Chains A and B, each alone.
Chain A
Amino acid sequence: MPWIDPQRTRDAARHLRVVADDSDDLQSSIRRGLTLSDLPPRRSLAQLREIDEELTLLATVLTLRADAVEDYRIDGPAFGWSRSRETITTSRLFASLLDDEGARAPISGDLAIEVLLAHRSALECTADRRDRPDAFITIERLNEVANDAAQPAELRAAAGAFVANPAWIAQLRDDARNVALALISTRIPADAFAVEALQLFRRRNEVITMLVAQANRGLRDPTVSRFTPEELTSRGVEPEELRRLGLSADHGKLVIAAINNGTFLHSPRRAREFIASLPIEAAHGGFIDMFEVRPDSLRALHETATADLVGGDADLLTHLKIIAHLPESADGYRNHLITRAYAELGRRFEASINGDRAFDPSAPGHSGASWFIFGMAASDSVGPVIDGSLSVLGFVPVTNEARQDVANGNQAIFSDFTDGFEARLLGRTPDQPYLDAGFDLMDQAHDEVDPRRRQELMLTSSAYFGIHEQTIVDPYLSLPSTTIWQTAGGLLLTGLLGDVRTASEVMTDEGELHLRDADHRKLAPSLAIGSPILPIDDPNNLIADVDLCELLEDPFCSVVDQPNDWSKYLERMAPIGDVFKYHLTDPALFTAVQTYRPLMAPTPTDKRRFRPRPEAR
């Protein structure tokens, strides 16, 4: 049975990296000789590059292998929240460990189990276990099969993957005393054998084997061959596989092609891992062009990634993170998901904080709307900009650049709040003080029994969330495209036909927050976010407690009631504070939040965050 010492293996990996660095440095020395003599030692430079690359790759393999032995996660930022088998991940080692005659494509743990089960009659070999057919398969037998050229590629791949990943075996082994793999304990019925996944594996294996053979002949760019990114991804080749194998290709185009060609539709877990690798513009600086993503493909990817999420806080969080990482498409699919996610969180917090009074803001003691309900309306309001259905002043079309920038801003806020929500759910304190304060105040509102104080706490909570949100969105308001299309982090202007003002002026003067349901039906007059504060005794003032008006003096204190420039943080905060104050108990908000389809069904056992509120004293 394969055995490694993780510490020595790590030392070996470190040594290899030093040698690789030396090899790189040596190339510099040689180039100096070349400069002096005009004698190009081309073969040496190429060989040293090869040494550098190969040793670096081997060092990576060794480190991963040591990680696996020590039972670390071995496959990047996957969202393995819910089930133990989620942690069985695709082996990064596998492609490197197989010989040229074997399978080159990585095989997932799920498929490997299914392949082994399908071939279990060929694997059962231990004489002393014949009394328990199909119960145990030894590692030695797996090793034999992995090296047996007569066996099918997928069986060799599956057996080799398990031999190469002790961590997988450790998770499946039911008896630490022996080295047998208790596959039967997974209880996968025979009819669950994934024919499509197997076919995909075979196609992928064929292509990758061909590409590796080409690479061995010096052709390291797969697009030099007959394969376009579309052809590669439609055969199931994953962008990261090519990068891992050192085959150069346009990674960005491959990623888009993988989305559009449904490369990851065969496995919810693989779809999640792929989505987790996609950039969030605010965090990583890069983004996927929303106009290159096919809407139906994006929808299919999202549906696959969430197909096996069954509910509860962990799956909800997984779903939120999936949405945060998804790219946008021209029809605003991600924006719609973000709006639904805000609605979901708004409903859950509402139910948790207000109990029997939930969704009835006129009921005595109701806390008022949380920021997440306002977030739903704000996200919905930028939808027409992102999907291109709205134009400025009725005739100026929204540019694609502006649509992308607004979509990026929409994602920036959502991903940041998702991170904060995750931190709270896992019992950590978010790094952002205003976000943390906002959650704390919601918790206090949850526990508070004094009706007036509950509203004060909820309003202040929204204020802190609002400050955080507007800080995040601030850079997007100064982008060239959005200075024409001011969106104020989701608070959108509507165009006015016949108006002679600039779009910027319209935003500043007439910005509105829509109150619409999930079908985009208008539920109430839009909230004019640029208007002066309503008098306290105004009959249109919906606020439940007039004293709340005094609450947001600081930090929402502003020198102006009417902002002159929406891109200025201090000027726009006053009217945003107005929205929180005057619509705290607006029934239209609570009607709207109930019209969105649930993201997840909460399970009765997941009550860590959404606990019932205490009885009134």
Chain B
Amino acid sequence: MPTSFEFEQAAASFDAAADRAERLLEHTRRHFGPDTMRDGKLPLLADVTVDTAVLAAASVADELRGQADTCRIRAEACRTYSRQLATYGAEMDRWQRNQHRADESAAGGQGLVVAGPRPRRPSRPSFVEI
């Protein structure tokens, strides 16, 4: 499973690819003006092919931007989970210390020491790796 760093890298990669997809055919139409060809079916064929390719490239760019956004969301989720996990670790340490003290006080007949509820481990998103 990817880490937040890898999701960030992937987002950058998808963004860069989306930029390239948007620029892929930006100069293509200018090659098919009336000074190159006119009348008949060939210009029609060229126009249809290029137009279709331009639409496809735009669609590719859209999907890649979406992928990049998803990657960034997941990277943030990774970071959030990482923070939650760190908090959980600290709370768990504190709880374990309290639990130990509670056990000792109970064994020594000293006053009642309550450890409190055991911290709950944060649930890990399926795509996250720390």
Binding site for B on A (CB under 8 A): 1-5, 8-9, 11-12, 15-16, 19, 22-23, 26, 29-30, 32-34, 36-39, 41, 43-44, 47-48, 50-51, 54-55, 57-58, 61-62, 65, 96-99, 143, 146, 160, 163-164
A1-B39, A4-B42, A36-B2 known; A29+B13 contact, CB < 8 A: yes
Min CB distance, A46 to chain B, in Å? 9
Min CB distance, A201 to chain B, in Å? 20
B14 touches A38 (CB 8 A): no
Q: Which of B1, B36, B60, B63 has a CB less than 8 Å from the CB of A4?
A: B36
Interface string of B85-128 (1 = CB under 8 A from A): 00000000000000000000000000000000000000000010
B24 touches A26 (CB 8 A): yes
Min CB distance, B73 to chain A, in Å? 11
10 additional A-B residue pairs with CB within 8 Å, beyond A3-B39, A41-B14: A8-B31, A12-B36, A16-B31, A22-B24, A37-B74, A50-B56, A61-B42, A98-B41, A160-B41, A164-B42
Min CB distance, A50 to chain B, in Å? 6
B20 touches A32 (CB 8 A): no
The chain B residue sitting closest to A3, CB to CB, is B38
Q: Which of B25, B39, B40 has a CB less than 8 Å from the CB of A19?
A: B25
Min CB distance, A101 to chain B, in Å? 13
A51 touches B57 (CB 8 A): yes
How big is chain B's contact interface, by range?
35 or more
Q: Which of B13, B35, B52, B56 has a CB less than 8 Å from the CB of A36?
A: B13
B45 touches A61 (CB 8 A): yes
Number of A-B contacts (CB under 8 A): 142
Min CB distance, A43 to chain B, in Å? 6
Min CB distance, B11 to chain A, in Å? 8
Min CB distance, B91 to chain A, in Å? 31
> In the bound complex, how far is the Cα of B46 from the Cα of A455, in angstroms?
66
Name the residue among B2, B41, B50 with the largest chain A CB count within 10 angstroms. B41
A19-B28, A47-B59 known; A8+B35 contact, CB < 8 A: yes
Complex interface: chain A residues within 8 A of B70 (CB):
37, 39
B53 within 8 A of A: yes
B35 touches A97 (CB 8 A): no
B41 touches A97 (CB 8 A): yes
> In the bound complex, how far is the Cα of B28 from the Cα of A146, in angstroms?
28
B16 within 8 A of A: yes
The A-contacting residues of B in range 1-53, CB under 8 angstroms, are 1-2, 6-7, 9-11, 13-14, 16-17, 20-21, 24-25, 27-28, 31-32, 35-42, 45-46, 49-50, 52-53
> In the bound complex, how far is the Cα of B16 from the Cα of A442, in angstroms?
69
